[in-house]
Amino acid sequence: MNQSLQSVLTQGSVQSRNRVLRNTYALLALSMLPTVLAAWAGVAMGFSGFTGRPGIDAVIFLAVSFGFFYAIEKNKESGLGVVLLLAFTGFMGLMLSRLLGAVLGNFSNGAQLITIAFGGTAVIFAGMATLATTIKRDLSGLGRWLFAGALLVLVAGLANIFLQMPALMLTVLVLMLAVFSAFILYDVKRVIDGGETNYVTATLAIYLDIYNVFQALLSLLSIFGGERD
């Protein structure tokens, strides 16, 4: 009797986790639509920032982003949370348009670099997501180290807005690529293990991982493979 009950509970738990993972992947795919549309609109309009001052624009970006984070988390159990998430991904697409516009405008192979970065990001995501489904080890302890790495990337990136040191920028990009690639593994694994049960929150985390991987990869490709007009 107890074994039967335990079996039913275990099966229900697995089904619940699989449902969260499916919903996360579906919403993640949907979130790419406003990102692409806003990025395309930003490139077409020549969007270069809110004020033209990198330091102030960075503060505005962080303020808007954390405002979205708070609102999404507060409404994650309702449809409003999904709407806010899609609005946030549109905002992130607009911000990404600055990098895309710079790559397309400064390099004759800009479109190729973007395509390669997109493909590389897809490969990294597929690899890490697959690894998350097969690895048996508990990765919960990895979170604090990845958070520290992400914080280091943020602080160093903000500092380099004023320092303008090429070596520091390269270090930040390599670290960003490594940290957020690992974050994909960690965040997908959390959903699989039942550590994250809300698909809106899970989608936000994985979206940010993918976004930062793509941004770092495209920037590195531009540095090492960009061909000037």
Q: Which residue has the tokens 């698909």?
A: 199
**What pLDDT is recorded for position 53?**
87
Evaluate whether 86 touches 30 at the Cβ level (below 8 Å): yes
* Mean pLDDT of the 122-135 span: 95
3-state secondary structure of 107: strand
Q: What is the mean pLDDT of residues 218-227?
A: 90
Is pLDDT of 13 > 80? no
Q: Taking the complete model, does pTM exceed 0.75, yes or no?
A: yes
For residue range 27-59, list pLDDT tens digits in order: 999 999 999 999 999 999 999 888 888 889 999
- pLDDT at position 60 over 70: yes
pLDDT tens digits along 170-207: 999 999 999 999 999 999 999 999 889 999 999 999 99
Q: Could you give the CA distance from residue 118 to residue 104 in angstroms, rounded to a whole number?
A: 14
Does the pLDDT of residue 9 top 60, yes or no? no
Q: Cβ-count burial of 183 within 10 angstroms (0-12 exposed, 13-18 middle, 19+ buried)?
A: buried
d(CA 189, CA 184): 8
- Please tell me the total count of domains within the chain: 1
The domain of 8 spans 2-225
Reported as a single tens digit per residue, the pLDDT across 202-221 is 999 999 999 999 999 999 99
Least confident segment among 109-118, 157-166, 168-177: 157-166
Task: With a cut of 70, say whether residue 24 has pLDDT above it.
Answer: yes
pLDDT in tens, 67-103: 999 999 999 999 999 999 999 999 999 999 999 999 9
Res. 11: pLDDT tops 90 = no
Contacts of 39 (CB under 8 A, 6+ apart): 93, 94, 96, 97, 100
